[in-house]
Structure 1
Amino acid sequence: MENKSIARTLRLFSQLMELHEENPFKVKSLATAAFKVDKLPFSIAKKSPEEIEKIDGLGKSTAAKVIELLQTGAIQEMADLIKETPAGVVEIMGIKGVGPKKVLVIWKDLGIESIGELYYACNENRLIEAKGFGLKTQEEIRKAIEFKVASNGRYLYAQVEEVAELLIKEATGLAGGIQVSFVGDFRRRCEIIDGLDFLIGCQDASGIISDLKEIPYLNVLAESPEKLETEHETGIKALFNFCSPDTFSYNLAFLTGAEGHNKELQNRLEIGDKSFETEEQLYAQAGLPFIEPELREGLFEFDLAAAGRMPELVEWKDLKGSLHNHSTWSDGVHTLEEMALFCRDELKLEYLGISDHSKSAFYAKGLTEERVIAQHEEIDKLNLEIENFRIFKGIESDILFDGSLDYSDEILARFDFVVASIHSVFKMSEEKATSRLVKAIENPFTTILGHPTGRMLLTRNGYPIDYKKVIDACAANGVIIEINSNPLRLDLDWRWHQYALEKGVELSINPDAHSKKGFYDTRYGILAARKGGVTAADCLNALNSTEITAYFKQKKGI
């Protein structure tokens, strides 16, 4: 075993001891020993137990731990501490700038047990008021997590968007009016991106390749007459493909589609024919209506085309209001009035559905029954003062472990709508998670099922559920399913949108905004909905203010 491995083990041991608030003297001794071992000019593994005990800076007790590690491959006392610590908490300790004292607050005070939960908490501003934290520390932790995730070579769509737009602008400028487009996963608006792909149509690619190689923030990985593989300074891979102008539309289609889509499309085209003026012409030649890039996954788009049901996909302009949002009443950063005015004046929406956290979400300043009543009084006042706009009284009510909501029927009846969501106890079997959700769906006050699987893309898998049973329950009880627009969530997964629509379940594209800026996340929910083949008619918040008022009243039996 190398000195560095021994030092890392001792360092983690000291951190675990500090996390579990053990003897500070022992913690310091282990941390010092870790530093000393890392700097030794000789291999400690080659020394005898007697020699190890004499090494300066170890001490008899720590030397015994090192000997135990070398002889058995583990330190039993450390193994016992690891058993008492959630695996995600141990992983959090590996984030740069997050020491044991901060981890203890994150774990015990905030109830966070994974990097995914911590990243989401940063995005919801939950760390700002925690002991030993602040806005600067929260931002540093968020960036450290992003770096850790990015080092795996995979990115959220939202994380690569800025680089993508920069590179397409560069390529378009260099091409001088020649055809340039995104292709691949990014053009299909996939939620997770492994790299950026571009297509440039030109007679001679050599000049453009030379210019691209001169861009200072691009590192060239490989080059051929048809392709230039590069890496952006952020680590994002960017592949530039080149083709002749007359085959641009053909290559645009086949470099965009997923394998299943391309195989079916190729079967419908005449062999060898690659000259098409537009993609629309290519699809027409294949006997198909134009299929939007988002749908080209080879899953259900050809069935829709064959049935003559190719959808007119939802757009931002179709949405008339925003539901599932948080204000300073819980863990948001802007007041109710600020959120409402932003929706009316900047986003040109007709209504805002406020749904602050319920009382079980103590970490997010969840609303007690008394505060619910006080908030409703403020909403009534604002609805009288703000012209041409409506604030609806909602709540994001926690689904408890037994599937019940965390307010009495008397309180739930006060709301215009209720978003029911799980925020705690994620470790469940599929049977338990499904039954928990179904019971909440069957609650007559539940209007919308919020982020149904609780997933955090790239950082935390959702709890396992039987999607069909959950969606069928929503169909049977008239419950809307949320498409949570936070780019970390995008939950309900787009792959289940068609099943929901077939069962007659409506969807709601919700930003889960915790600030005015958060409303712009709606765009990512729209992109996910488009991948699922969702139209405006399928969306609850495409209803105008009058229509959704009537819907809420009907749901409540008024």
Structure 2
Amino acid sequence: MSSPQDLVRPCDIKGILHSHSRWTDGAHSLGSMVETAREIGLEYLGISDHYRSEAHQEGLDLGALKIQLAEIERLRRENPGFDVLQGIELDAEPDGSLPLESETLAQFDYVIVSFPENGGYDPGTFTEQVMRAASHPSVSILAQPLGDLMLRQQNGILDMEKVLEAAAAGRTAVEVTTNPTCSELDWTHCRRAQELGVFMSISPNAHRAARLVDFRHGAERAREAGLVCASILNTLTSEELRRYWASGEIPR
């Protein structure tokens, strides 16, 4: 049983790792997203715009991502004391593999993998497809497995226990989406992730600057579910995150 002082609180969240800008399907510029993140007391913001795919035609190719990095580096210089990370959100291929090689993905601070509904995944092997992505050494975060993917579990095509075990083996975090308008999550799986030592990333998946603050709702819900700070990826500082992603060692 966790003691109350160990349970996560909104003030323990150092930054957000899943957000989108006007570079793809977000509503606001990188500068506006960074400004809002600073105003609500965060220490860093991860921009994880989409890589171009069948499901995300508006996504960026590698050339555009390189140009985006130049803007991110400028924002870092203009915002001392605040960090801006460049992530990338990939849609997994129909077999659960990734559309980019590991050498290319190493250019980014972190990698998020998602399974869009129109991604052409085989319901009969969907669990294996998600497990393959969750155990990939280049993947940092599995997007929305405790939210959107839960709906597929309820339809009997996803075994969440196996997915969490694969995430534990691959040291891949799983995302807890915090939009307060979303359906209630099955917090049993969050607690199971904690038991297995799987990091969870509390994330608003913000496509608008005003939605960044939704992380507070998620942290309150996580506290009610008994989740502790040591289980939440984004209670780490950006420096600690980079060390963890580079070495796999938890900087606690």
Q: TM-score range by the shorter chain?
A: 0.7 to 0.9
Shift of 1:512: 0.2
Residue 189 of structure 2: which of 470, 480, 496 is its match?
Answer: 496
Deviations 1:469-513 (A, max 9, x none): 111111111111110112354686312112111111111101100
Residue 31 of structure 2: which of 314, 331, 337 is its match?
Answer: 337
CA distance in 2, matches of 1:357, 1:387: 27
Asked if 1 retains the 8 angstrom alpha-carbon contact of 2:8 and 2:228, the reply is: yes
CA RMSD in angstroms comes to 2.6
CA distance in 2, matches of 1:446, 1:492: 23
Shift of 1:440: 0.7
Shift of 1:313: 2.6
In structure 2, the CA distance between the partners of 1:465 and 1:325, relative to structure 1 (3 Å rule), is same
Q: Is residue 372 of structure 1 aligned with residue 65 of structure 2?
A: yes
Deviations 1:493-551 (A, max 9, x none): 31211211111111110110011111122133223322431122211111123322322
* Corresponding position of 2:223: 530
In structure 2, the CA distance between the partners of 1:467 and 1:433, relative to structure 1 (3 Å rule), is same
Shift of 1:314: 1.5
Asked if 2 retains the 8 angstrom alpha-carbon contact of 1:453 and 1:465, the reply is: no
Q: Is residue 444 of structure 1 aligned with residue 168 of structure 2?
A: no
* Corresponding position of 1:359: 52
Residue 323 of structure 1: which of 17, 21, 24 is its match?
Answer: 17
* Corresponding position of 2:7: 313
In structure 2, the CA distance between the partners of 1:491 and 1:364, relative to structure 1 (3 Å rule), is farther
SS in 2 for 1:356: coil
Q: Is residue 416 of structure 1 aligned with residue 139 of structure 2?
A: no
Residue 549 of structure 1: which of 236, 239, 242 is its match?
Answer: 242
CA distance in 2, matches of 1:522, 1:420: 20
Structure 1 gaps of 5+ residues are 1-303
Give the number of the structure whose residues are more often helix, by fraction: 1
SS in 1 for 2:49: strand
Shift of 1:357: 1.0
In structure 2, the CA distance between the partners of 1:457 and 1:473, relative to structure 1 (3 Å rule), is closer
Residue 475 of structure 1: which of 168, 174, 182 is its match?
Answer: 168
Identity %: 38
**Aligned pairs for 1:75-94 within 5 A:** none
* Corresponding position of 1:518: 211
Q: Which has the larger radius of gyration?
A: 1
In structure 2, the CA distance between the partners of 1:330 and 1:518, relative to structure 1 (3 Å rule), is same
Deviations 1:373-402 (A, max 9, x none): 111121122212221111111011111111
* Corresponding position of 1:507: 200
Asked if 1 retains the 8 angstrom alpha-carbon contact of 2:147 and 2:177, the reply is: no
CA distance in 2, matches of 1:407, 1:434: 21
* Corresponding position of 1:396: 89
Asked if 2 retains the 8 angstrom alpha-carbon contact of 1:456 and 1:489, the reply is: no
* Corresponding position of 1:381: 74
Aligned length in residues: 246
In structure 2, the CA distance between the partners of 1:480 and 1:353, relative to structure 1 (3 Å rule), is same
Matched AA of 2:7: L
Deviations 1:427-475 (A, max 9, x none): 743x5111011111122110011111663899x9677311111111111
CA distance in 1, matches of 2:149, 2:133: 21
SS in 2 for 1:325: coil
* Corresponding position of 2:43: 350
Deviations 1:301-360 (A, max 9, x none): xxx3xxxx345431111101111100011101111111112111x111110011011111
CA distance in 2, matches of 1:490, 1:314: 21
Deviations 1:21-43 (A, max 9, x none): xxxxxxxxxxxxxxxxxxxxxxx
SS in 1 for 2:90: strand
Shift of 1:368: 0.9
| TM-score relative to the length of structure 1 | 0.41
In structure 2, the CA distance between the partners of 1:475 and 1:364, relative to structure 1 (3 Å rule), is same
* Corresponding position of 1:291: none
